[in-house]
Amino acid sequence: MATTPGSPERRRAPRIAPLSADIYAAGAAPARESSLQELKAQSRKPGEASFFYLDHHFQHNAVKVLPGEYFVADESLVIMTVLGSCIAACLWDSRARVGGMNHFMLPDGDLADASGRYGSYAMELLINEMLKLGARRETMQAKIFGGAQVMHNFTTMNVGERNTNFVLNYLHTERIPIVSEDVLDIYPRKVVFFPVTGKAMVKRLAHAHPDALAQEARGNAVTVVKSTAGGSVDLF
């Protein structure tokens, strides 16, 4: 997406997919739910998120995905991350009721550095871990978040835009449809994802562009996009 130097990037409006008919299929077994102690006690793979806590807002066990990490689950919990120019891809298989999130910092890096910090490795790792829990590529769908221009006047090497273009192209190549997205613009974001239902929620955080903040204050306008579906993104 082309921008003029010094101008904020336009935010892509979330694309809302219709409700999948089998999300709440009759007779579906309740999702498994581990206790917080059980989650903390389980051994974790390299790169797998391991910071578990009780989220008081949702009153639910949660795991925080840090830069370079991922998490995949087929049980009831909240997967959360905070993004600036980084990207989080949330993948979900509605039939297997499996979902996962990664958090990468750059599109790619040294071929010898197999790290979740880079999108090329982070996406492959996320997909493979989904497959291990019974998901299938042909029934996966994606929601993508982040890619903000959080550094004022930092437009000559826009990392957020590069990350966004990478994940769009990667998912297109893998034929995994993007059903929702909230990317680019200048806002850091807090994202929460529910791996069993595929529901995602995003909260825009305060940014570092004082001129944009002043313009928002003068306009005194608040826009809220809200819907309820397995393919939706809610603002909270």
Per-residue pLDDT of the chain (236 residues; tens, 9 = 90+): 444 444 444 445 444 343 333 333 434 567 789 999 999 999 999 999 999 999 999 999 999 999 999 999 999 999 999 999 999 999 999 999 999 999 999 998 766 667 899 999 999 999 999 999 999 999 999 999 999 988 765 555 689 999 999 999 999 999 999 999 999 999 899 999 999 999 999 999 986 655 554 444 444 333 333 333 455 566 66
Q: What are phi and psi of 133, to 5 degrees?
A: -95, 10
What is the predicted pLDDT for the residue at 109? 72
Domains of the chain by start residue, with CATH: 36-235 (3.30.1330.200)
Which one of the listed residues 65, 86, 184, 191 is annotated catalytic?
Answer: 86
Residue 196 contacts residue 76 (beta carbons within 8 Å): yes
Name the residue among 161, 166, 150, 142 with its Cα closest to residue 233. 142
Residue by residue, DSSP assigns the chain as: ----TTPPPPBPPPPPPPPPTTTT-TTPPPPB---HHHHHHS---TTB--EEEEETTTTEEEEE--TT-EEEESBS-EEEEEESS-EEEEEEETTTTEEEEE-BSBS---TT---TTBHHHHHHHHHHHHHHTT--GGGEEEEEEE----STT--TT-HHHHHHHHHHHHHHHHT--EEEEEEBSS--EEEEEETTTTEEEEEEPP-S-HHHHHHHHHHT--------STT-EEE-
Active site (annotated) includes residue 90 = no
